[in-house]
């Protein structure tokens, strides 16, 4: 059963599409509908439906602005619009399909098939990611696997100098002045990194203990091999010294 959410500023449009979906197919269950985009964003950022039917022309924000505000996009997006000029733009924003209003039954059937294929691929990719992550976590102590932004990144832990937080993002700084920005919070990265050589020295930093060049006790910071100075949080200082 495909769990669907509908977002449209017109209640009649929501009612019409809900009726079409429930009467046309027994494969889709409309679990939530929203006429207020902000309420929909709040819901979608903490819930994971299988697909989203999204109207483009909304007065407070258009559908593309709506998509940019989502932190969770692990579902198929179908754009609904009365104007086919939005089709190309919709597909560029990672929508798997678009439906022109009034919605045609044949078009809806084709869209449902695309949703099913999309979800099948996503399920298989998720299984592959789980296998790879578990393998690296259990058997390969020199490498980590990071799943972010639709791709897997394999990193040798010896190449990591430190990780810096930037809200919902983290930047991994590597040897050779390289860096990688990933869509994970620092606490998520901390859970992946092996405890024996990484330490969260500050709310905003995780460091590789093997890459410390100096610890300046009087000023409360470490100097990494890249010469980057990183502060040691006062409440973490004793735990940090025990790690050294």
Task: State the total domains in the chain.
Answer: 2
Same domain for 121 and 152? Answer: no
pLDDT number for residue 39: 95
Cross-strand pairs, 164: 171, 205
Residue 177 is given by DSSP the state S
**Strand pairing class (28-34; 51-55):** unpaired
Same domain for 150 and 185? Answer: yes
| Residue 92 structural domain | 2-127
Q: Is residue 11 part of a domain?
A: yes
Same domain for 42 and 148? Answer: no
Specify the CATH number for the domain of residue 165. 2.40.50.1020
Same domain for 114 and 38? Answer: yes
pLDDT one digit per residue (tens) for the chain, 244 residues = 889 999 999 999 999 999 988 887 788 899 999 999 999 999 998 888 999 999 988 888 888 889 888 887 778 889 888 876 666 666 666 688 888 888 888 888 888 888 888 765 555 445 445 544 554 554 445 778 777 666 678 888 999 999 999 888 899 999 988 999 888 889 989 988 988 899 999 999 999 999 999 999 999 999 999 999 999 999 999 999 988 8
Q: Which of 139, 142, 8, 109 is closest to 62 using CA atoms?
A: 8
Rounded distance, CA 149 to CA 95, Å?
16
Residue 221 in tokens: 């910071």
Rounded distance, CA 89 to CA 105, Å?
23
Q: Which of 177, 174, 182 is closest to 146 using CA atoms?
A: 182
């Amino acid at each position: 059963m495909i769990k669907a959410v509908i977002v449209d500023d017109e209640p009649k449009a929501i009612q019409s599409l809900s009726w079409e979906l429930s009467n046309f197919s027994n494969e889709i269950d409309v679990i939530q509908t929203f006429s207020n985009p902000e309420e929909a964003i709040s819901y979608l950022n903490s819930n994971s439906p299988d697909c989203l039917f999204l109207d483009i022309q909304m007065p407070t924000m258009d559908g593309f602005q709506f998509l940019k505000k989502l932190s969770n996009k692990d579902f198929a997006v179908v754009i609904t619009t009365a104007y086919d000029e939005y089709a190309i733009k919709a597909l560029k924003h990672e929508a798997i399909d678009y439906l022109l209003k009034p919605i045609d039954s044949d078009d809806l059937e084709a869209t449902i098939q695309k949703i099913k294929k999309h979800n099948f691929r996503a399920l298989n990719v998720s299984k592959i990611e789980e296998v790879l992550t578990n393998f690296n976590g259990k058997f390969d102590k020199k490498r980590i696997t990071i799943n972010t932004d639709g791709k897997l990144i394999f990193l040798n832990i010896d190449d990591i100098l430190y990780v810096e937080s930037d809200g919902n993002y983290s930047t991994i700084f590597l040897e050779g002045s390289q860096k990688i920005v990933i869509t994970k919070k620092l606490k998520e990265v901390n859970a992946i990194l092996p405890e024996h050589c990484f330490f969260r020295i500050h709310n905003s930093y995780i460091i590789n203990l093997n890459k410390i060049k100096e610890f300046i006790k009087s000023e409360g910071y470490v100097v990494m091999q890249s010469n980057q100075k990183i502060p040691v949080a006062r409440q973490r200082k004793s735990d940090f010294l025990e790690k050294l």
